[in-house]
Amino acid sequence: MQYAAFVACCLIWGSTFLAIRIGNQSLPPEWAATLRLVLAAPLLSLVVLIRRDRWPRGEALKAAILFGVFNFGVNLGLLYWGERVVPSGIAAVLYATVPLSTAFIAAALGVERLQPRKLVAAIVAIAGVATIFAGEMRLDVPFAGLVAVFLAATAASLSSVVLKRAPQTFFPGADRLDPNVLAIRIQPDDGISLRFAAKAPGATMQLQEVDMNFLYRSSFSRGDDQVDAYERLLLDAMLGDRTLFTRADEVEQAWKWAEDIQEGWSQRPNNVHFYPAGSWGPAWADSFIERDGRQWRRL
């Protein structure tokens, strides 16, 4: 269903520049844009009522209003006005810059990190659209029309970032809190800790980060009663208890898995990233996880 909706959006939006050009031949650009909104608003309201969705309130309503101003008022107004003199193909190429400008605007406002793969995908999209409409590319297009279409695309990018940034929360400053953290620790300090935001007591509407900790050492025995890992190993061996020991077939499978890694290292030695002992690892490890907007948690 999601892919069908995506294909439908591509087909509808892909033909919008031609529809705008045809509409401008019959109506002034401001009336053509207004007619489009007059038809779309009741249909969207009907969809909301049928699905029984909640109407936005508070900060979400403010973001929706800003989205409407930028995406429908500024964007469509400039787009319809610019396409009076700009061919549909050139308008499509200029509008294809929306993903690229959205990525830069989101990074500038601190909404998302600038990820290389998104930049590459945006550039490829622009090149693809330019290839499709290469036959319509020419230099005798009025500069004012080109600027209007480009500003329309920029307004669309800004509206998307503004809508995504809108916090729908009762607590001021909640967007500046760190995400919840579930940390699982292994020996020698076994335990689990959970950090989350909780409302501070009283009439205030403020959130505060708190910790819930489970420590194996303090919960089940005193510190001097803790058994070292090798003590447990030797005791199990003397008692003949093989519960915690690895079976031979498991060891063989583990070595098969390790041999594949060693073979890959020998074939591509330059792909092995070395780092000094005692450090937090190579810089590549940071860039690898940060491209998805995540980061390592320092202990």
Two tokens, residue 40: 């779309």
**Is residue 276 over pLDDT 60?**
yes
For residues 181 and 190, is the Cβ–Cβ distance under 8 A?
no
SS (H, E, C) 63-122: HHHHHHHHHHHHHHHHHHHHCCCCCHHHHHHHHCCHHHHHHHHHHHCCCCCCCHHHHHHH
The pLDDT tens digits for 83-95 are: 778 887 788 888 8
What is the C-alpha to C-alpha distance for residues 142 and 217, in angstroms, rounded to an integer?
A: 76
Give the model's pLDDT for residue 207: 79
Q: How confident is the model at residue 220 (pLDDT cuts 50, 70, 90)?
A: confident
Q: Please provide the average confidence, as pLDDT, over all residues in the chain.
A: 78
- Give the pTM: 0.48
Q: How confident is the model at residue 255 (pLDDT cuts 50, 70, 90)?
A: very high
Give the model's pLDDT for residue 277: 86
What is the C-alpha to C-alpha distance for residues 103 and 24, in angstroms, rounded to an integer?
A: 31
Across the range 110-129, mean pLDDT stands at 83
Q: How confident is the model at residue 169 (pLDDT cuts 50, 70, 90)?
A: low
Terminal Cα distance for the chain, rounded: 43
State which H helix or E strand residue 267 sits in: helix 248-267
Closest by CA position to 93, among listed 153, 143, 141, 142:
153
Question: Lowest-confidence range among 33-37, 117-121, 191-195?
Answer: 33-37
The pLDDT tens digits for 28-64 are: 766 666 777 777 778 888 887 887 777 777 767 777 7
Exposure string over 13-33, b if 16+ CB within 10 A, otherwise e? eeebbeebbebbeeeebeebb
Which residue reads 């070595």 in tokens? 255
Residue predicted with more confidence, 11 or 239? 239
Q: How confident is the model at residue 100 (pLDDT cuts 50, 70, 90)?
A: confident
